[in-house]
Amino acid sequence: MSTPEPFTVAVPEAEVTDLRDRLHRTRWPGDFANDAWTYGTNEDFLRGFVEFWADGFDWRAAEAAINAFPNFRVEIDGIPIHFLHVRGRGPSPLPLVCSHGWPWTFWEFHDVIGPLSDPGAYGGDPADAFDVVVPSLPGFGWSSPLTVTGVTCQRTADLWAVLMTDVLGYERFGAQGGDWGAVVTANLGHAYADRVVGVHESLPVLLGFDYASVTEEDYAPDEAPLWQRRREAAGTITSHMAVHGTEPQTLAPALNDSPAGLASWMLGRRRAWSDCEGDLDRAYTRDFLATTLSIYWFTGTIGTSMRFYYENFRTAWAPRHDQSPAVGVPTGFAQFPRDVMPLPRAVLERHSNLERWTLMERGGHFAPSEAPDLLVADVREFFRGLR
C-alpha cells in the first residue's frame, strides 16, 4: 500500500479538442416514432445535448470545480484509488465514506460535501459535521487503470476499510451510498462492525436477500406507489444489466470511441431512473451531466465501469459471519419515491437493524444530485445518535 498523494485533474488540451471534434462528427442513425423514447434515447434530445457538450460546455470550469476539493490518489493492493477528502468543521467531525454507483461518479456527491462537512456554513449545527471521504469505485474515473479481475462490491468494501483505517487513520466511521455504493456500504456494515458505527443507504440493500420474494402485499397502503414504481422501473434496468453482466467488453469499444454513444447509453438511464417526468433538464443542469460524462470519457473507464456488473453477477456473495441480520450495525434507509428498487418498511424491519426509514417527498435513483437537501438532512439525523 502506497502513501496517498495529492492529485490534480489536468486533462491535456488535445484530449478536450478531440472530444469536441468527435461530437461534431457524430454519424446520426436517424429516429422516428420515438417522441416518447419508446425505442430508447430520443435522437432530437440527444442532438441537442451533444451540441451543448461540444460547444456550450466548459470543461476547464468543471475541472476547476473538481480541483477545488482536496483530491488524492493511493494504491491499495495494486488497485489505484482516487478520492476526495474534506475535513469537517465542527467540534468532533465523524468520518463518513460515501460510495457512488453506475452511471454515477464521485461528482454525484459534490452538492452534499459542503453541507455535510461544514454544516454551520449552511445553516446547520456544527456538531453534525463529518470528515467526508468520497472515493471513485475501482475502474471508475481516476481510480484507474484497473487491471485486475474479481473486484466486486465486497472486495471494494475491503478496500474502503483499508482506506479509512490504515490510510486515513480513522478508528471508527460511518458509511453512506446508493446504487452499487449502497451494496458496498452494506458490506462495510456486515464485515467491519468493529469500526463502522452505522450505514445509511439511499437504495435499500439487504445482503443475501431474495428480492423476488417481496410481493405487493408486503407494501403498506401508503407505500402502494413504491410497488407501482418497482414494477414500472423493472423494464428500465434489464437491458444494461444484461449486457454489462454478461459481455461488457463487447459494448466497451463502441462507447469508448463515440462520446455521443456514451451519452445516449447513460442519459437514457438517467431519464428513466430520475424524478423528472421525462424531462432531464428539470432534474439536472446540462453542465452537471456533461461533467459526469466527461469524467468517464477522459479517463476511458466506461469499459471497466461496466465490468463491475460482470464481476458482481459472477461472484456469489460470501458472508463473513452467520449473524442475523447480516448487517448488524444501525442502518438507515432513505427511500426516494422514484428510485428503481424500493422495498417496504416491513421487510426492512424484518431483515435489518433498522434505526431509521424515511419516505422522501421527491427524488429518484440519484439522491445526492437530485435531492441533496433531503439526503443531507437524513444523513445528519441518522448519525446524530451514533457519534
Q: Which residues contact 287 (CB under 8 A, 6 or more apart)?
A: 57, 58, 61, 62
Give the chain's residues under pLDDT 70: 1
Q: Among all residues, which ones are annotated catalytic? A: 179, 309, 365
Question: Are 186 and 207 contacting, i.e. CB atoms less than 8 angstroms apart?
Answer: yes
Beta-bridge partners for 98? 176
pLDDT digits (tens, 9 = 90+) for 163-213: 999 999 999 999 999 999 999 999 999 999 999 999 999 999 999 999 999
- CA gyration radius, the chain: 20
The DSSP 8-state label assigned to residue 165 in this structure reads I
pLDDT confidence of residue 318: 95
Cα–Cα distance, 352 to 91 (Å, whole number): 31
Cα–Cα distance, 121 to 118 (Å, whole number): 6
The DSSP 8-state label assigned to residue 294 in this structure reads H
Neighbours of 303 (CB within 10 A): 18
Q: Pairing between strand 331-335 and 196-201?
A: parallel
Neighbours of 130 (CB within 10 A): 31
Three-state secondary structure call for residue 117: helix
Q: What is the dihedral of CA 3, 300, 372, 86, to 10 degrees?
A: 20
pLDDT confidence of residue 2: 78
Cα–Cα distance, 257 to 343 (Å, whole number): 38
Cα–Cα distance, 366 to 273 (Å, whole number): 8
What is the phi/psi pair of residue 78, to 5°?
Answer: 80, 5
Question: What domains does the chain contain, in order, with CATH numbers?
Answer: 5-384 (3.40.50.1820)
pLDDT confidence of residue 191: 98
Burial per residue of 222-243, b for 16 or more beta-carbon CB atoms within 10 angstroms, e otherwise: ebeebbebbeebeeeeeebeeb
Question: Are 259 and 53 contacting, i.e. CB atoms less than 8 angstroms apart?
Answer: yes
Question: Are 181 and 99 contacting, i.e. CB atoms less than 8 angstroms apart?
Answer: yes
pLDDT confidence of residue 1: 67
pLDDT confidence of residue 236: 86
Q: Which residues contact 42 (CB under 8 A, 6 or more apart)?
A: 31, 34, 35
Cα–Cα distance, 130 to 116 (Å, whole number): 6
Question: Are 190 and 322 contacting, i.e. CB atoms less than 8 angstroms apart?
Answer: no
Q: Which residues contact 14 (CB under 8 A, 6 or more apart)?
A: none
Q: Pairing between strand 94-99 and 173-177?
A: parallel
pLDDT confidence of residue 150: 97
